């Protein structure tokens, strides 16, 4: 297994409930290192670009409105097999289907307001990291 980097977002439902530290504790307990992190207010354009793959889905408008409804924390996580590992740590998209101990089981409110994002593949991880971080903001 190789050391990988993945992109994470702590979403508005979590930042609003002061859960940044709670989410980060689960990430670090799983052995992933937070090698870049910043709290930002996403613009509508940034959110539309980020979730462009879902632009034809019926929930797209709702998803973009949600992502700009409050600040988010964008992160780069590093570790062995980080992309798949973080997907496991996050849990299923729908928190009612998420496994015990996962971030979404612990914290998510609904399938839409589900507390975290994580990249789904190496190529998307690269693209997503580059959308929000310049190289000198990442210290691994
Ligand atoms: P993410 O890409 O945010 O990590 P995911 O990969 O688990 O989540 P996707 O299928 O990529 O799930 O959906 C992206 C996001 O769109 C979900 O995390 C959720 O916030 C929202 N979403 C997905 N399905 C629905 C739905 N049926 N209703 C409302 N929002 C949804
Ligand atoms: Mg996804």
* Three-class SS of the chain: CCEEEEEEEECHHHHHCCCHHHHHHHHHHCCCEEEEEEEECCCHHHHHHHCHHHCCCCCHHHHHHHHCCCCEEEEEEEEECHHHHHHHHHCCCCHHHCCCCCHHHHHCCCCCCCCEEECCCHHHHHHHHHHHCCHHHCCC
117 Cβ below 6 A of ligand 1: yes
Closest ligand relative to 9 C-alpha? 1
57 Cβ below 6 A of ligand 1: no
Cβ neighbours around 67 below 10 Å, total: 21
Q: How far is the CA of 120 from the centre of ligand 2 (A)?
A: 6
Instruction: Give the full edge-to-edge strand order of the sheet including 116-118.
Output: 33-40, 72-80, 3-10, 116-118
pTM check: above 0.85: yes
- Where residue 79 falls among pLDDT bands split at 50, 70, 90? very high
41-64: pLDDT as tens digits: 999 999 999 999 999 999 999 999
Ligand 1 atom closest to Cα of residue 119? 4
6-33: pLDDT as tens digits: 999 999 999 999 999 999 999 999 999 9
63 Cβ below 6 A of ligand 1: yes
Distance CA(85)–CA(71), nearest Å, equals: 25
Cβ neighbours around 14 below 10 Å, total: 24
Is there a catalytic annotation at residue 117?
yes
């Amino acid at each position: 297994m190789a050391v990988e980097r993945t992109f994470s977002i702590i979403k508005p439902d979590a930042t609003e409930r002061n859960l940044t530290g709670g989410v980060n504790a689960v990430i670090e307990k799983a052995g992933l290192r937070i090698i870049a992190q910043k709290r930002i207010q996403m613009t509508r354009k940034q959110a539309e670009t980020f979730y462009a793959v879902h632009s034809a889905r019926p929930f797209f408008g709702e998803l973009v409105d949600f992502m700009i409804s409050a600040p988010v924390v964008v992160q780069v996580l590093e570790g062995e097999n980080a992309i798949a590992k973080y997907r496991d740590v996050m849990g299923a998209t729908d928190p009612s289907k998420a496994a015990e101990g996962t971030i979404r089981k612990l914290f998510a409110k609904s399938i839409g307001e589900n507390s975290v994002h994580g990249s789904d593949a190496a190529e998307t991880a690269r693209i997503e990291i580059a959308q929000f971080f310049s190289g000198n903001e990442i210290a691994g």
